[in-house]
C-alpha cells in the first residue's frame, strides 16, 4: 500500500478501461479554465499551475484547505446527460474539474487507487456541486449535478498526463 | 499561503490608463499573467474593489470578444462619492485591483430585432461594447443617440460611428435636448430600445417608453433610484440556514446592512438594487423584492440584500 493511504481498499470489484478526453487548469478563482494537451502532476501537491496546487492556494475554496483535492475528475457522460435530460449545454471547460474522462465510473472509485496515464491517483471523495459553478457559468446545473459532480483525488505518483491516456484499475 | 477568507474578487492589474476626452480616462485591466478573464455580455458591467474599501460599478466598453482585458471609462466627478476621484488621481499602471464577475448586459441575440441606444454623456459606455458586438456580428441595424454638452466623452471611439451613420450626436450646448419620445418612436416588436444616462434623462426615457413591452426595454442607471418610504416597515428575523443563526432586522433596516453589521460578508456595490452585486439566495419566507435586476424567475430563489425586505416575521437565507 502506498504511504498515506490509511483506508482499507473496498473489496467489491470494479472493472473499466477509460480514456482522458480533456485536460484543464486555471491559475486563479473565477478565471476561465484553459484546455491543455498535457498536465504535470506533482505527487502530494497537485497540478503544476492550477489554482488548487498545494502552496499556490488561489482557488475559490482555498480557504478550506483539503489535502485530498489535488486533482479533480469529471465524466464526459455527465455532460451528455445534462444535454439529454435537462437541455443544458455544458462543455468540458465549464465544469471546472481538471480532467474529463470517458468510460470511467468515477462514483465507484472513492477510496480506490487507479492509474491516470502514468500517474497514480487515490480518490478521496465525490466532488460536490456548488453554486459557484452556477455563478461563473450562469447555467442552472446545481441540482442536475447532485451525486455526479466528479471526483476529488490525491496524487500518489506524479508524472505527465496527456489527452488520450488510458485510465485503468490498479 | 492558505487564504483565511474566501476569494471573492478576480485579481486584475491595471495595464494602461489613457485620457479620452475632458475628465475621462480609460482604464484597462488584465489578469497578472495574461490569462483570459471571465466573459461578459455586451453592455455588461463589473465592480471595481478600490483600495481602502470603496466598490464602484462601471460598464465594460470594449468588444466582449476581447477575452484578455476589461476596459472601463471613468469620468472624474468632483461631486461624486469619491470613487472616480480615487481612480483618476491615485490609481497607477501596474496596481492590482479586485473586480467582480461581470453582470448584466443587453440581449442582442435575436437578429430580427434591431436596436436603438440612447445615452447621456458618459452613459454611452455600455453601448460601446454592445455596438462592438453587433459590428463584429456583421450587423448595422442599430443607431446610437448620444446626448452630450459639447465634445462628447470618448470622442475618438464615437466619431467613427458618426461618420458611418451609426451614431448621432445631440450637442445640448447648441441645441435643446432632443425629445426622447421622438428618438425612440412608437413601440414596435422588431425594435429594442435602451437608455443609460443621468436620472433626469432616465425619467424622460421611462415616460417615453411607458407603453413599450418590458422585453424590448433596457435601462442602465447611473445611480440607484430612491426607494419609496415604507412607513409600514416592520422588524423581522433573518434565519441563516447553514448555521441556524437568527438575526433581528430593525424596522426599515436593510438585509445587507444587518448582515454586514453581524460580520457576514456579502459583496455589495450600488446599495440600491440595480447593480446585482449583493444577491443572496432565500429558502423560506416571503421576501419583498424592490430591486431592478432580478427576473421573476430569479426572484423565486434569489433576492438583492440591499433593497429586499420581508413580508413575514421570518425570512430564511441560504447563508
In a domain, A75, yes or no: yes
pLDDT tens sequence across B176-208:
889 999 999 999 999 999 999 988 999 999 999
Please say if the pLDDT value at position B4 is more than 80. no
- Give the chain B residue whose CA is nearest to the CA of A27: B35
Report the mean per-residue pLDDT for chain A.
90
CA angle A151, A157, A159 (to 5 degrees): 95
Residues 47-66 of A with CB under 8 A from B: 57-63, 65
Q: Residue A2 has what pLDDT?
A: 42
- Assess whether pLDDT exceeds 60 at residue A5: no
Residues A22-62 pLDDT 10s: 999 999 999 999 999 999 999 999 999 999 998 888 888 88
Domain boundaries, chain B: 10-99, 114-221, 236-317
A12 lies in some domain: no
**Which of A2-16, A135-149, B59-73 is the most confident on average?**
B59-73
Q: Is residue A59 part of a domain?
A: yes
State the CATH number of the domain containing residue A74: 2.40.33.20
pLDDT at B237 (0 to 100): 95
Lowest mean pLDDT among A2-6, B145-149, B169-173, B217-221: A2-6
Superfamily of domain covering B236-317: Beta-grasp domain (3.10.20.30)
- DSSP 8-class letter at A106: G
To the nearest whole angstrom, how far is the Cα of B261 from the nearest Cα of chain A? 22
Q: Which of A25, A31, A65, A134 should one mutate to test binding to chain B, selecting the residue with the greatest count of B CBs within 10 A?
A: A31
| Cβ-Cβ contacts under 8 Å, B3 against chain A | 57, 62-63
Using CA atoms, how far residue A80 sits from A75, A76, A77, A91, B137, in Å, is 9, 7, 5, 9, 29
Q: What is the mean pLDDT of chain B?
A: 90
User: Model confidence over A135-167: pLDDT tens digits?
Assistant: 788 888 888 888 899 999 999 999 999 999 999
Q: Is pLDDT above 60 for B21?
A: yes
- Domain holding A110, by residue range, is 17-164
Asked if the model's pLDDT at residue B74 lies above 80, the reply is yes
State the nearest Cα–Cα gap between A60 and chain B, in angstroms: 6
CATH placement of domain B114-221:
3.40.50.80
Total count of domains within chain A: 1
Whether residue B237 contacts residue B247, with contact meaning beta carbons closer than 8 Å, is answered with yes
Per CATH, the architecture of B10-99 is what?
Beta Barrel (2.40)
Q: How far is A72 from chain B (nearest CA, A)?
A: 19
Chain B residue numbers with beta carbons less than 8 Å from the beta carbon of A33 are: none
**What pLDDT score does B199 carry?**
87
pLDDT tens sequence across B275-305: 788 899 999 999 999 888 888 889 999 999 9
Task: Give one DSSP letter per residue of chain B, joined into a string.
Answer: ---SS---SEEEEEEEEEE-STTEEEEEEE-TT-PPPPP--TT-EEEEE-TTS-EEEEEB-S-TT-TT-EEEEEE--TTSSSHHHHHHHT--TT-EEEEPPPB-------TT-EEEEEEEGGGGHHHHHHHHHHHHTT---EEEEEEESSSPTTHHHHHHHHHTTSEEEEETTTSPPP-HHHHH-S--TTEEEEEEE-HHHHHHHHHHTTTS-GGGEEEEESSPPPPPP-TT---EEEEETTTTEEEEEPTT--HHHHHHHTT-----SSSSSSS-TTEEEEEES-EEP--SS--HHHHTTEEETTT-EESSSEEEE--
Cβ of A31 within 8 Å of Cβ of B37? The answer is yes
List CB contacts (< 8 A) between B2 and chain A: 57, 62-63, 65
Please, which pLDDT band fits residue A3 given cuts at 50, 70 and 90? very low
Nearest CA in chain B to A30: B10
Q: How confident is the model at residue B224 (pLDDT cuts 50, 70, 90)?
A: low
Residue B3's pLDDT is 67
* C-beta of residue A151 within 8 angstroms of C-beta of residue A161: no
Residue A168 grid coordinates:
485503468
Assigned domain for A7 exists: no
Residue A5, domain member (yes or no)? no
Q: Is B300 on the interface with A (CB under 8 A)?
A: no
* Domain annotation covers residue A8: no
**Which residues in chain A are closer than 8 Å to B9, comparing Cβ atoms?**
30
Q: Does residue A157 lie within any of the structural domains?
A: yes
Interchain CB distance below 8 Å, A62 and B7 = yes
Domain-embedded: residue A109:
yes
Amino acid at each position: 500500500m502506498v504511504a498515506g493511504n490509511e483506508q482499507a481498499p473496498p473489496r467489491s470489484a470494479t472493472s473499466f478501461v477509460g480514456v482522458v478526453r480533456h485536460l484543464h487548469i486555471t491559475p486563479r478563482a473565477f478565471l476561465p479554465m484553459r484546455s491543455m494537451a498535457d498536465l504535470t502532476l506533482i505527487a502530494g501537491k497537485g497540478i503544476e499551475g492550477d489554482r488548487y496546487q498545494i502552496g499556490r492556494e488561489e482557488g475559490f475554496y482555498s480557504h478550506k484547505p483539503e489535502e485530498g483535492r489535488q486533482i479533480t475528475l469529471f465524466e464526459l457522460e455527465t455532460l451528455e446527460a445534462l444535454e439529454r435530460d435537462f437541455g443544458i449545454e455544458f462543455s468540458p471547460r465549464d465544469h471546472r474539474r481538471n480532467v474529463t474522462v470517458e468510460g470511467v465510473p468515477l462514483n465507484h472509485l472513492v477510496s480506490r487507487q487507479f492509474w491516470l496515464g502514468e500517474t497514480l491517483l487515490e480518490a478521496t471523495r465525490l466532488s460536490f456541486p456548488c453554486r459557484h459553478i452556477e455563478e461563473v457559468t450562469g447555467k442552472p446545473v446545481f441540482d442536475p449535478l447532485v451525486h455526479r459532480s466528479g471526483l476529488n483525488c490525491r496524487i500518489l505518483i506524479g508524472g505527465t498526463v496527456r489527452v488520450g491516456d488510458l485510465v485503468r484499475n490498479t | 499561503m492558505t487564504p483565511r477568507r474566501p476569494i471573492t474578487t478576480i485579481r486584475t492589474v491595471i495595464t494602461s490608463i489613457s485620457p479620452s476626452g475632458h475628465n475621462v480616462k480609460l482604464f484597462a485591466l488584465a489578469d497578472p499573467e495574461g490569462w483570459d478573464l471571465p466573459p461578459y455580455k455586451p453592455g455588461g458591467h463589473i465592480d471595481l474593489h478600490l483600495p481602502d474599501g470603496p466598490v464602484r460599478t462601471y460598464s465594460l466598453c470594449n468588444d466582449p470578444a476581447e477575452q484578455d482585458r476589461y476596459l472601463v471609462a471613468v469620468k472624474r466627478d468632483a461631486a461624486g462619492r469619491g470613487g472616480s476621484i480615487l481612480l483618476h488621481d491615485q490609481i497607477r499602471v501596474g496596481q492590482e485591483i479586485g473586480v467582480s464577475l461581470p453582470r448584466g448586459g443587453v440581449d442582442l441575440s435575436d437578429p430580427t430585432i434591431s436596436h436603438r441606444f440612447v445615452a447621456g454623456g458618459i452613459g454611452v459606455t455600455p453601448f460601446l461594447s454592445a455596438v462592438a458586438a453587433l459590428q463584429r456580428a456583421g450587423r448595422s441595424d442599430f443607431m446610437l443617440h448620444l446626448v452630450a454638452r459639447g465634445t462628447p466623452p470618448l470622442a475618438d471611439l464615437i466619431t467613427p460611428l458618426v461618420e458611418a451613420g451609426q451614431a448621432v450626436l445631440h450637442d445640448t450646448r447648441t441645441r435643446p435636448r432632443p425629445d426622447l419620445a421622438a428618438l425612440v418612436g412608437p413601440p414596435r416588436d422588431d425594435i429594442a430600445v435602451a437608455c443609460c444616462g443621468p436620472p433626469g434623462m432616465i425619467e424622460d426615457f421611462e415616460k417615453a417608453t411607458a407603453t413599450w413591452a418590458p422585453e424590448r426595454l433596457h435601462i442602465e442607471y447611473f445611480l440607484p433610484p430612491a426607494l419609496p418610504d415604507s412607513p409600514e416597515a416592520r422588524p423581522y428575523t433573518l434565519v441563516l440556514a447553514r448555521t441556524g443563526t437568527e438575526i433581528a432586522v430593525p424596522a426599515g433596516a436593510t438585509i445587507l446592512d444587518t448582515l454586514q453589521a453581524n460580520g457576514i460578508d456579502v459583496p455589495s456595490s450600488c446599495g440600491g438594487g440595480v447593480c446585482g452585486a449583493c444577491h443572496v439566495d432565500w429558502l423560506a419566507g416571503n421576501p419583498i423584492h424592490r430591486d431592478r435586476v432580478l427576473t421573476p424567475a430569479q426572484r423565486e430563489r434569489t433576492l438583492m440584500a440591499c433593497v429586499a425586505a420581508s413580508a413575514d416575521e421570518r425570512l430564511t437565507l441560504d447563508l
